[in-house]
Structure 1
Amino acid sequence: MTNERLPSDISREMEVQLEHLQNNIAKLQLSVKEKDCCILHEFEELNKLFKHIHNRTATYYLQLYLEPYTEFMDTLTTACQQLSEKRHGALIAVKRENPIESLVHSGIPLHAKLSSSLLEAVFYPGNPLHDGGIIIEKDTIISAGNIFPTSLYYNGKEKEKLGTRHRAAIGLSEVSDAMILVVSEETGRISFALEGNLYPIQPGLS
């Protein structure tokens, strides 16, 4: 990846928030031995702060990797959020510099304008295309129901604990520069794959 370093303003913001998180954790560590009452509220506040930091960073990287290649980033993120909340699995490849059609198989041509409602319809359980992946180029859904290449290993370990969509997302990212968004049907977790790595965007909803 290129230009991965956070801009100075975001970096400073992260430093402040992480320091705040560390201070809160330190306070909680001290209170564990001292408090006689339930401390679940404190854990919930820490969880909210961590999610805020994570989401802020994830938003930056999504913009970095997607905005140069589509003007519909908000449409994509909205669709993924809706699919996540409904626990509808999804696999979406966004073309960047290089073509990827020769790397996938069995896609049904759509050539339809990208919209959140169409993405949700394609990945609705029971739709014949919902188990495959979508290919997006700029503002167009090129095809749906595609079979992406998969690989057996991730960071040197077997991918047996990863679902089929996640293995396919990683597999395509290993052989192309595409960015692949994936929504877990089991947990609602949203991630993206790029250059053979899988990055969480949003925690699961379990």
Structure 2
Amino acid sequence: MKDGNCDFSPMKQILKEDIRQVIAALELNLEAMSNENDCLLGSFEKIKEQFVSIDMKAATFYLNCYLSPFTDKYPELTISIQNLSNRKHGGLIVIQRQESLETIIQPGISIGAELTHSLLESIFYPGNPLHDGAVLVSQNQISSAANVLPLSVRSTGGKKLGTRHRAALGLTERSDALVLVVSEETGRISFALNGNLYPINNQGLH
């Protein structure tokens, strides 16, 4: 897998420090368990939040690494998904990488325009005839919109996923594409790669 020219050292140091803080918190909980009067539920909740924060921080960093070899439009993509998230406008953006997607995607409407955040946001504006399908990005262009992706049929361990997320997983189970997803219900951002879904920290995108 190509990761671009990412310098992993600073991020690794940040993640190491975050993990050390979690370990320290867990060790404190172990000591506190000797006191039967201590309730640790609140502490466990904080540790869970720390784990989620670490996961999202790492995913945000790696997203740029996975995208940078295949498009120069990372800034435009991040602005668009941030704005979609803030407005709770659903979005599904496919970034084609090395493998062709012609035989996997049901083609929509050809666009053939330079990728800009304003164009992406207008496509996913509620009521736009193209907003329900997936946008296909090839290098620095929006190739097409209103594309239909294959849905994943894999069990998600009882976790209910919306159609956009199932479509993102379905395509990445069958190709090396990377798919950005914005939930219209929650505004949460995630990306799918190799059949896995990763949450993204909106505030950490830049």
Q: Residues 44 and 79 of structure 1: is their aligned pair in 2 closer, same or farther, counting only changes over 3 Å?
A: farther
Alignment of 1:1-206 (within 5 A): 7-24=8-25, 47=49, 53-154=54-155, 157=157, 161-202=160-201
1:120 to partner: Cα distance: 0.7
Q: Percent identity?
A: 43
| Structure 2 segments unaligned to the other structure (5+ residues) | none
Task: For residue 20 of structure 1, report the CA deviation from its aligned partner.
Answer: 2.1
State the one-letter code of the partner of 1:196. G
Please give the alpha-carbon distance, in whole angstroms, between the structure 2 residues aligned to 1:2 and 1:144.
26
- Contact residue 21 and residue 46 of structure 1 kept, 8 A: no
Q: Is the 8 A contact 1:25 1:46 kept in 2?
A: no
Q: Distance in 2 between matches of 1:81 and 1:9?
A: 24
Secondary structure at the residue paired with 2:113? strand
Look up the equivalent residue of 2:186 and give its one-letter code. Answer: T
**Contact 1:132–1:147 under 8 Å retained in 2:** yes
CA distance in 1, matches of 2:183, 2:201: 11
CA contact (8 A) 1:24 1:46 kept: no
Q: Which amino acid aligns with 1:200?
A: P
Cα distance in 2 between the residues matched to 1:52 and 1:174: 26
What is the CA distance between 1:21 and its match in structure 2?
3.6
Q: TM-score, normalised by structure 2?
A: 0.80
Q: 1:45 to 1:116 in 2, by over 3 A?
A: farther
TM-score, reference length from structure 1 = 0.80
The aligned length equals 194
1:55/1:200 CA distance change after superposition, 3 Å: closer
Give the distance between the partners of 1:89 and 1:12, measured in 2 at CA.
34
| Structure 1 range deviating more: 123-132 or 10-19 | 10-19
Shift of 1:103: 1.5
Q: Following the alignment from structure 1 to structure 2, what is the Cα–Cα distance between the partners of residues 167 and 14?
A: 29
* C-alpha spacing 1:28/1:116, structure 2 compared with 1 (3 Å): farther
Q: Secondary structure at the match of 1:148?
A: coil
Q: Which residue type is aligned with residue 16 of structure 1?
A: E
SS of 1:191's partner is strand
- What RMSD in Å do the two structures reach over aligned CA positions? 3.1
Tell me, yes or no, if the aligned pair for 2:2 and 2:66 is still in contact at 8 Å.
no
Report the secondary structure of 1:130's partner residue: coil
Which runs of no fewer than 5 residues in structure 1 stay unpaired?
Answer: none
